[in-house]
Amino acid sequence: MSAQSLRVATLAFPDPANVTEANHYYHVDPALSYTFESSGNIRTLSTNGASGGADITGLLYTPELDPDDQCFNLTRPYVPENAVRRVDLPDTEYALVAIAPWLRPDCTLAYLTAARNANTQGFLFFKPDNSSAEPPPANEVEWSLGDGGNWKSANLYPVYALDGVTGYTLINATAQYGGNISTVPHAQELLETYRVGDSLRLVVDVDTGSGSRLPSLWVFLLVVLAILLVIIGSTSILMHWIQRRRRLQLRQRVVNGEVDLEALGIKRLTVPQELLNQMPLYVYGTSRPQESPVVDAEKFGSSNTPNSRSSSPSPDIQPTPARMSSYRPTALDQPTCPICLDDFDAPSASEAGTTVRELPCRHIFHPECVDTFLRDNSSLCPICKKTCLPAGYCPKNVTNAMVRRERIMRRNRERNGGDQTLHPITEAGADPLDMDTIPRPQPSHPPSSLGQRIARRITSAPAPSTAAGSSQQMADLSSTPRRSATTAGGPNVNPPADTTRRREWARQRAVAMLGRRAAPADPDAEEAARTPRWRKVVSTIFPGVGGR
């Protein structure tokens, strides 16, 4: 934006009297007209209004001062009598560049003010000192107008300083080309091209350099910032999307019974009120026949309509010895509520009897006792620790932390098993203690992080139901290598094909793996407590990072 060089050329304007179209001018042959070029000896005093890369171009003129102003007389010796004034230029609003001597601050201000009224694109000042040296830098005191630099912002055009000789030359040249065409040098030759009424005027072009095309530091910073924001934003969106997919996948696998969140310590589950409401309520000792056949264990979890089986022993349930639960509670086996230790009352003539809630495992409690426990503390029966949730139950919110813990476990399992993904069933029952084969980073120390702790509790889910089922069928049909793999593991290694049994299988397997190791009371709460705030922020923006 600081001026680099300056060029002056001559333009011809047709006589306004006999021209029909306005805004017309011609470049005059340089050989026959005034040209001037100067580079270097130009100082930029004010860059206001000059934009980077764009030249300052306009017709040269000297602003008119008020004749009453003493500056009018003061500057007279330095401004030729017939220097081009605004009135000498065509009426059309061409861009203008003013030129004037710099005498005293008040005169300069008077010029600047006068130039404001016209379409001035720039102002050229020169010191009337006949010096051809480069004018002093802009911050020198002699360019001070005593107003603290306000003049720079008050005038919406850039201001440049020329050395005295250049200034004189230019202002005199304007005087030379101020009249009509007959008074200029080479008038004869020019008249062959132009008419007598045409006028020649000087146009100046101040080159503000190409270096200014670079954006300023602030613009640059803003651009960088914007790019960064865009990158961060799109990464964040992408990661949110990936994480969302993983959550959905995990939910799907939980629903399919491949993952047991509670047994793996991924999430401590509780029972929502809607499910509690589905568990049968009845008066102690009444509606439940004492000798009711036991519904097999798998049936418990899957039953979404427990009332259907509580009504009467349905004939379609055929308990076979193999599928029969070992525990056969009957209503009267449990005389007290194990939570409040109060006795249940059977209905009698005077009393209505105690209403009890029966869990899928057939244990009974006061509803007010067990409901709070299941809703707020645990999904497991207080007595036998069997889950009260239906098979494939998945909590409403699958969190990113759950996804991460599950992934860590799965990854560890794959790393340790090598081919376990190919034969996920072979190692199941054969080596329930295979967690001892897991390489432990610090065998002598307790695991320091949740991740490590979880890593120890390796377990695996059985193959997806379709794969498991079909592989079993395949094995039965033809003697594939797979068959030897499955049979090698022992009788108990095949994950059952149907969802509920697979779920039970997963649970038992997880319990076998975990042994009696203490599971965290609530993995989520524990993790939230140990995660520093900045990490939480980071994982809000970039879900999925920070998985150790």
Binding site residues, other proteins, CB under 8 A:
338-342, 368-369, 372-373, 376-378, 382-383, 385, 516, 518-519, 521
Q: For other proteins, give the closer residue by CB, 41 or 270.
A: 270
> With respect to other proteins, which residue has the nearer C-beta, 403 or 519?
519
Nearer to other proteins, 388 or 519 (CB): 519
Return d(Cα 231, Cα 222) in angstroms, integer.
Answer: 14
Minimum CB separation of residue 371 from other proteins in Å reads 11
Least separation, in Å, of the C-beta of 547 and other proteins? Answer: 24
Least CB distance to other proteins at residue 366 (A): 9
Closer residue to other proteins in complex, CB, 287/377: 377
On whether the CB atoms of residues 407 and 453 are closer than 8 A, the answer is: no
Instruction: Please identify, using beta-carbon distances, which residue of 142 and 342 lies nearer to other proteins.
Output: 342
Q: CB nearer to other proteins: give 179 or 338.
A: 338
Buried b (16+ CB within 10 A) or exposed e, 434-462: bbeeeeeeeeeeeeeebbbbbbbbbbbbb
Closer residue to other proteins, CB minimum distance, 394 or 519: 519
The residues, ordered by sequence, that sit 6+ positions from 355 with a Cβ below 8 Å of its Cβ are: 281, 282, 283, 284, 366, 367
Give least dist CB 339 to other proteins, A.
5
Q: Kindly state the smallest distance separating residue 264's Cβ from other proteins, in Å.
A: 13
Min dist CB 360 to other proteins, Å, is: 17
Tokens standing for residue 452:
């490590």
Please spell the DSSP secondary structure of 298-323, one letter per residue: HHHHH-S-HHHHHHS--TT----GGG
Residues 59 and 205 sit within 8 Å (Cβ to Cβ):
no
* Nearer to other proteins among residue 432 and residue 520 (C-beta): 520
Cβ atoms within 10 A of the Cβ of 67, count? 7
Query: How far apart are CB 341 and other proteins at their closest, in Å?
Result: 5
DSSP states of 57-114 as a string?
Answer: EEEEE-PPPPTTSHHHHHHGGGS-TT---GGGS-SS---EEEEEE---HHHHHHHHHH
Tokens of residue 526, six digits: 């524990």
Nearest approach, Cβ of residue 530 and other proteins (Å) = 17
Q: How far apart are the first and last CA of the chain?
A: 54
- As given in the structure block, the two tokens for residue 237 are 């969106």
Shortest CB 454 distance to other proteins, Å: 14
Cα–Cα distance, 381 to 361 (Å, whole number): 8
- What DSSP letter does each residue of 217-250 carry, written as one string? HHHHHHHHHHHHHHHHHHHHHHHHHHHHHHHHHH
Strand pairing category for 36-39 and 355-358:
unpaired
Which residue's CB is nearer to other proteins, number 230 or number 521?
521
How far is CA 276 from each of CA 246, 283, 379, rounded to the nearest angstrom? 29, 17, 10
Contact between 160 and 124 (Cβ < 8 Å): yes
Which CB, 374 or 463, lies closer to other proteins?
374
How near is the Cβ of 373 to other proteins at its closest, in Å? 5
Rounded to whole angstroms, the maximal C-alpha distance in the chain is 139
Instruction: Compare residues 84 and 389 and give the one whose CB is closer to other proteins.
Output: 389
Nearest approach, Cβ of 518 to other proteins (angstroms)? Answer: 5
Cα(371)–Cα(136) distance, integer angstroms? 90
Q: How far is the CB of 377 from other proteins (least distance, A)?
A: 5
Q: Write the single-letter amino acid at 60.
A: L
Question: Which residues touch 395 (CB under 8 Å, ≥6 apart)?
Answer: 261, 267, 269
Q: Which is nearer to other proteins, 3 or 388 (CB)?
A: 388
Query: How many alpha carbons fall within 13 Å on the CB side of residue 335?
Result: 1
Strand, coil or helix: 253 = helix
* Residue number, 248 or 384, with CB nearest to other proteins: 384
Least Å distance, CB 486 to other proteins, is 32
Output the smallest distance, CB 358 to other proteins, in A: 16
Nearer to other proteins, 84 or 369 (CB): 369
Q: Which two tokens stand for residue 36?
A: 């001037």
Per-residue DSSP letter, 547: -
Using N-to-C axis directions, what is the helix angle for 465-477 and 481-488, rounded to 10°? 110
